[in-house]
Amino acid sequence: MIDESSVTHVTDTAYWVAHFRAKESQRRTPVFNDSLAALLSGKRGRKIARSIPRASMVEWGMVVRTSAIDRLIHESLQSGVDAVLNLGAGLDTRPYRMNLPAELRWIEVDFPNLIELKNAKLAEHEPVCRLERVGMDLSDRPSRNEVFARIGAASKSVLVITEGVISYFSNSEIANLADDLRAIPSFHRWIQDFDNAPKRRLPSGWAKKLEAAPFLFEVKDWFGFFEKYGWKALETVTTAEESERIGRPYPWDLPYGLLLRALPKEMSRRILGLSGVVMMQR
Q: How far is the CB of 52 from ligand SAM (least distance, A)?
A: 11
Q: How far is the CB of 11 from ligand SAM (least distance, A)?
A: 4
Q: How far is the CB of 258 from ligand SAM (least distance, A)?
A: 27
Q: How far is the CB of 232 from ligand SAM (least distance, A)?
A: 23
Please state at what angle helix 141-153 crosses helix 171-182, rounded to 10 degrees: 30
| 58 contributes a contact to ligand SAM by CB under 6 A | no
Q: Is the Cβ–Cβ distance between 158 and 84 less than 8 Å?
A: yes
Question: Rounded CA gap, 265 and 267, in Å?
Answer: 5
The residues in 168-197 that bind ligand SAM, with binding defined as CB under 6 A, are 168
Cβ count within 10 A of residue 280: 24
Q: How far is the CB of 259 from ligand SAM (least distance, A)?
A: 26
DSSP calls for 126-184: --SSEEEEEE--TT-HHHHHHHHHHHHHT-SSEEEEESS-GGGS-HHHHHHHHHHHHTS
| 37 contributes a contact to ligand SAM by CB under 6 A | no
Cα–chain-centroid distance for residue 166?
A: 9
Judged by CB under 6 A, the number of residues near ligand SAM is 21
Query: Which string of x and - marks every residue 7-26 that binds ligand SAM (by CB under 6 A)?
Result: ---xx-xx--xx--------
Nearest CA to 63 out of 93, 33, 88, 35 is that of 33
Q: How far is the CB of 91 from ligand SAM (least distance, A)?
A: 6
Closest-by-Cβ residue to ligand SAM is 90
| 278 contributes a contact to ligand SAM by CB under 6 A | no
- Compare residues 89 and 159 and give the one whose CB is closer to ligand SAM: 89
Q: What pairing do the DSSP bridges indicate for beta strands 105-110 and 130-135?
A: parallel
| Interface pick for ligand SAM out of 64, 164, 194, 276 (rule CB under 6 A) | 164
The residues in 84-123 that bind ligand SAM, with binding defined as CB under 6 A, are 88-92, 110-111, 114
Question: Rounded CA gap, 138 and 173, in Å?
Answer: 10
Query: Which string of x and - marks every residue 126-145 that binds ligand SAM (by CB under 6 A)?
Result: -----------xxx------
Nearest CA to 109 out of 77, 73, 151, 67 is that of 151
Burial class (CB in 10 A: 0-12, 13-18, 19+), 1: exposed
- Compare residues 31 and 138 and give the one whose CB is closer to ligand SAM: 138
Q: Is the Cβ–Cβ distance between 19 and 41 less than 8 Å?
A: yes
Binding site for ligand SAM (CB under 6 A): 10-11, 13-14, 17-18, 88-92, 110-111, 114, 137-139, 163-165, 168
